[in-house]
Amino acid sequence: MIAIVDYGMGNIRSVEKGFLKVGADAMVTSNPKVISDAKAIVLPGVGAFKDCMKNLDDLKLLDTVVREIQKGKPYLGICLGLQILFTESEEFGICKGLDVFKGRVVKFRFPDDSDLKIPHMGWNTVMLTPPPPIFDEIPDNSYFYFVHSFYVIPEDEEIIAGRTEYGLEFTSMVWKDNIFATQFHPEKSQELGLKILKGFGEFANKA
């Protein structure tokens, strides 16, 4: 069973529906024991980094999530679920993250005369560098759906699995061992997004 972590933020149910649509056994939960017993963890979310960390802490889920990741349990982070993996975010002042990966979360900054809007919202391409195993049969430079104002800057470039252009080239996906995380939303990215969810489910079953 895949545990989709419910911490009171974001598009939890649409992620669950996506997994169920591709035949994966997924369950929304905020129970630490259920998360510990699950085959894999998915942490989605839309909103503020600080609120995400506070809600996880209030639910006593921070230690559980980090412990299970460190044990090698497959993890899929979506949007905020990517960002909180890093050391800190500058959103609303410096806020500490899970520090699974060293790096920072920073805001897009463009000149006043720029045509680019914040948040970065809509469809954009992802350059795979290289593709993680859950991206089987997904072509390079495919389009996925984004909605975010902040992006991650990893210290270790070897974990970068995807890059996207929006005024600058930013990290849109990371991958290391059991950890997969995307800035874009697979559950909102139609057929290719469902392929990612299916690929993660298959990876979890083999783990």
- pLDDT class for 136, splitting at 50, 70, 90? confident
Give the pair of three-digit tokens for residue 135.
């991206």
**Which residues are annotated as catalytic?**
79, 185, 187
Averaged pLDDT of the chain = 96
pTM of the model: 0.96
Summarize the confidence of residues 186-198 as an average pLDDT. Answer: 97
Summarize the confidence of residues 4-13 as an average pLDDT. Answer: 89
pLDDT tens column, 54-83: 999 999 999 999 999 999 999 999 999 999
Can you give the pLDDT at residue 9?
A: 85
| Fold that domain 2-206 belongs to in CATH | Rossmann fold (3.40.50)
